[in-house]
Amino acid sequence: MSEATSNPKATPLVAVKGMNDILPPDSARWDWFEDTVRALMRRYGYLGMRTPIVEPTPLFVRGLGEVTDIVEKEMYSWIDSMNGDALTLRPEGTAGVVRAAIEHSMLYDGGKRLFYIGPMFRHERPQRGRYRQFHQVGVEALGFSGPDVDAEVILMCRSLWRDLGLADVRLDINCLGQAAERKAHREALVKHLVAGRELLDAEAQRRLHSNPLRILDTKNPAMQGLVEAAPRLMDYLGEASLKHFEGLCRVLDAAGQPYRVNHRLVRGMDYYALTVFEWVTDRLGAQGTVCGGGRYDGLAELIGGKAAPGIGWGLGIERVLDLLQQSGIEAPAAVPDVYAVVPSIEALPAAMQAAEALRAAGVAVLMHAAGKDGWGSMKSQFKRADASGARHALIFGAEELARGEVAVKPLRDAAAAQSTRALADLAAWSAELRTA
Positions that interact with ligand ATP (CB under 6 A): 92, 122, 124, 129-131, 134, 136, 268, 287, 289-292, 314, 316, 318-319
Q: How far is 363 from 337, CA to CA, in rounded Å? A: 6
Q: Which is nearer to ligand ATP, 130 or 359 (CB)?
A: 130
What are the strands of the beta sheet with 365-367, ordered from one edge?
A: 365-367, 338-341, 392-395, 405-410, 419-422
| Environment class of 404 (CB within 10 Å of its CB; exposed 0-12, middle 13-18, buried 19+) | exposed
Q: Which is nearer to ligand ATP, 92 or 337 (CB)?
A: 92
Instruction: Give the chain's radius of gyration (CA, Å).
Output: 28
Strands 77-79 and 86-89: antiparallel
Q: How far is 142 from 218, CA to CA, in rounded Å? A: 30
| Environment class of 158 (CB within 10 Å of its CB; exposed 0-12, middle 13-18, buried 19+) | middle
Least separation in angstroms between residue 391's CB and ligand ATP is 37
Least separation in angstroms between residue 16's CB and ligand ATP is 14
Q: Which is nearer to ligand ATP, 122 or 186 (CB)?
A: 122
**Could you tell me which residues are beta bridge partners of residue 409?**
393
Q: 242: which residues sit within 8 A by CB, 6+ positions away?
A: 175
Q: How far is 199 from 202, CA to CA, in rounded Å? A: 10
Torsion of CA 67, 72, 75, 76, to 10 degrees: 140
Q: Which is nearer to ligand ATP, 69 or 405 (CB)?
A: 69
Q: Which is nearer to ligand ATP, 55 or 318 (CB)?
A: 318
Q: Which is nearer to ligand ATP, 152 or 322 (CB)?
A: 322
Q: Which is nearer to ligand ATP, 277 or 339 (CB)?
A: 277
Least separation in angstroms between residue 290's CB and ligand ATP is 5
What is the DSSP secondary structure assignment for residue 373, as one 8-state letter? T
